[in-house]
Amino acid sequence: MADPKKSPPLTRDSVIAAHYLIKQYIHYTPVLTNSTLTDLASTPQSTSDLADTPWAGQEPAKPKLRLWFKCENLQKVGAFKVRGAFHALIRLMSEGGWEAGGGRERGVITHSSGNHAQALALAARTMGIPAHIVMPTISTLSKIAATTGYGVKVVFSGSTSTEREAVVEEVVKETGARLVPPYDHPDIILGQGTLGIEFQEQVERMIAEGGEGQPKCSFALKGKVGRKKGLDAIIAPCGGGGMLSGTALSCEGTGIYVFGAEPEFEGADDCKRGIEQGRRIETVKTLTIADGLRTPVGAYPWSVIYERKLVRQMFSVTEDQIKKALKLVLERMKLVVEPSAVVGLATALFNEDFRRLVERDGGEEGWDLGIVFSGGNVSVEALGKMFETSVAKTERQEGLVGKDGERVAENVAG
């Protein structure tokens, strides 16, 4: 990797500079709104919804939210990761002596479950540099196929970050390739943060114009009289923390709050637990359906998130809540997103601690909340498997299938 000591400082100005470097290589992804999801987020949950949760028996929160979605699922390679990959590679190529010392021929290497793998593969191919990608054997087949499609060499490893890093060391010894890490490096963080700069600009413009080339957003002009012209807060998924810390840097000094969201399954909420314990948790082993969030928060992201307090608070959601949010996006927004992408939305819809915070701090005016859809790399087969149990259950409840699983003909005729 490029020497972190020579990286630009972790500041908002450095994020803006990173955007200037990479903007020719990335998509300026759209920001979308959805009235149905905004209405759901602003509607109190029912007491039955809270029955089997930590908030059972409590009065449901009554937040007022206007939701804005930054669609990085429509980014190149289907995820925000391409931002950090291009920025890190451009910075590495500009390092004194790298080219003359044979750096281009030896190439680069990384480890990733899929999205950063594809991102570095594309960036390396664009720049004419060979790349080696270490992927866990449990990576989804669609992400493996997409990565190999960029012409890189894929080497497989175990599922934990420790196992991945061990294989990386072996390949580095053999090839001399330079590491471009998936999240734990200043250049990666600054690159990922560029989505936050765009997000702020886009929402300000959409509110000012009443919609981006469309009829006026029904909720964009509601709310506070003399309201500030943009976002009140952004919530983003957190795995290794590169995007969350970069987004936090992009909001530093703007008055925009930044929150992180994680799955809670099998300890995947390591950043939340680390903040509660006052120390970074360095190992995570989880098989949450949000496969892009199975890694522990890196040291550099932790310094931004926790030590500098640029992320206000972390929240976690269940697997079932992730599935519910994913289903809503698929059916109501007609967008293909992966489970990792919707943990922020799941938090806004179902986490009563977050919803109470918005109710308290937003008051009668409410909040304009930015939600980052981090990626859309999920296969049709994976989506089908994810929902097959709940679909079968619904069909039985509605009388569409018998107890033996066969469909009831008279209910589907015509």
- Is 6 catalytic? The answer is no
Beta 233-237 vs 367-373: how paired, if at all?
parallel
Contacts of 394 (CB under 8 A, 6+ apart): none
Cβ count within 10 A of residue 255: 11
Active site residue 81: yes
Distance (Å, whole) CA 357 – CA 345: 15
Query: Distances in Å between the alpha carbon of 220 and those of 42, 72, 344?
Result: 14, 21, 20
Looking at the DSSP assignment, which residues form a beta bridge with residue 171? none
**Which residue out of 7, 14, 42, 113 is catalytically annotated?**
113
Rounded to 10°, the helix 81-93/12-22 angle is 80
**Residue 14 and residue 300 in contact, taking contact as beta carbons nearer than 8 Å:** no
Determine the residue type at 297. Answer: V
Which strands form 108-111's sheet, in the order they lie side by side?
A: 153-157, 131-136, 108-111, 178-179
CA neighbor of 363 nearest in space, from 227, 219, 211, 203: 227
Q: Which of 70, 81, 143, 272 is catalytic?
A: 81
Report the residue count for the chain.
Answer: 414
d(CA 341, CA 195): 14
CB 188 within 8 A of CB 182: yes
Nearest CA to 293 among 255, 244, 246, 340?
Answer: 340
DSSP notation for 91-157: HHHTSTTTTTTTHHHH-EEEE-SSHHHHHHHHHHHHHT--EEEEEETTS-HHHHHHHHTTTPEEEEE
* Catalytically active residues, by annotation: 81, 113
